Structure 1
Amino acid sequence: MNASGAHTGTGSWLIQRATAGVLALVLPGLLVYFLIALPVDFAGWRVLFAPLWLRVSMLLAGLALALHAWIGMRDIFMDYVRPVGLRLALYLAVIGTLAATLVWLAAVLWGVA
């Protein structure tokens, strides 16, 4: 018997499926919106990203993608990277990259309007 419990992976599995569901719903809608608008200059891109619903959708998709990527990368590192120090360094590198990317996305999205 494992001292950490029998269902430690259930939460990760549910988050992975939930974020996949969010991405499956949000990304096709955003793609259609972008293809219909198809801006050709900077002013067109500014108008495209002006609606609040679009910026919130983009940030939600970015957050879902970052969480989905983190769980996948964490599981890969747990399964295939045996040295604990290297695994910790890889965890920190992925977390830092994903967090910086989300901050950058928010800054870009809210800097447009």
Structure 2
Amino acid sequence: MAANNRIGSKRLVVGAHYGLRDWLAQRVTAAIMAIYTVILLVWFFKAKAFSYDGWASIFATEWMKLATLVTLLALFYHAWVGVRDIWMDYVKPASLRLILQALTIVWLLACAGYAAQILWRV
């Protein structure tokens, strides 16, 4: 009789697998954004010309475009984790939650595509 008991260390726990992975993702993406912000501020205050040409010259190099794209992708993933947690915590009907999550994904992918398009136009 005790062998069929599902209480204890062999109990199946669902829904709790997001914690550590998402906590770590939030910290890593925040660190990427912080490092990029420091690089951008140093470059900006080191520049002599505070004009559109001076600002556009920052993003003219390929490594800065790539760093900006990586930072924006980190921002979008950071936003996804946060917004998804809000939907999971506060929206109880599963169908509405799924619709909101799908709309969030579509919005973030559109923002990522638009950001890439802007970066490679400069």
Q: TM-score range by the shorter chain?
A: 0.7 to 0.9
- Contact preservation (8 Å) 1:39, 1:48: no
- Contact preservation (8 Å) 1:27, 1:61: no
In 1, Cα distance between the equivalents of 2:35 and 2:82?
A: 20
**RMSD between superposed Cα atoms in Å:** 2.0
Cα offsets for 1:20-56 (capped at 9, x unmatched): 1111211221133234335423x44432211111101
In 1, Cα distance between the equivalents of 2:31 and 2:54?
A: 30
In 2, Cα distance between the equivalents of 1:72 and 1:78?
A: 10
User: How many percent of aligned residue pairs carry the same amino acid?
Assistant: 43
* CA 1:73–1:102: 2 relative to 1, 3 Å: same
* CA 1:15–1:89: 2 relative to 1, 3 Å: same
**Equivalent residue number for residue 78 of structure 1:** 88
Deviates more, 1:28-37 or 1:86-95: 28-37
- Contact preservation (8 Å) 1:59, 1:106: yes
User: What displacement does 1:6 show?
Assistant: 5.8
In our comparison, the structure showing a higher alpha carbon Rg is: 2
Indicate the structure whose relative CO is greater, using CA pairs within 8 Å and at least 6 residues apart: 1
Equivalent residue for 2:98, pick from 85, 88, 96: 88
Specify the code of the residue in structure 2 equivalent to 1:68: H
TM normalised by structure 2 equals 0.78
**Equivalent residue number for residue 102 of structure 1:** 112
User: What displacement does 1:8 show?
Assistant: 3.9
TM normalised by structure 1 equals 0.84
User: What displacement does 1:66 show?
Assistant: 0.5
**Equivalent residue number for residue 40 of structure 1:** 51
Structure 1 gaps, min length 5: none
Q: Report the count of equivalent residues.
A: 111
Specify the code of the residue in structure 2 equivalent to 1:61: T
In 2, Cα distance between the equivalents of 1:6 and 1:101?
A: 29
Equivalent residue for 1:57, pick from 60, 67, 76: 67
Structure 2 gaps, min length 5: 1-10
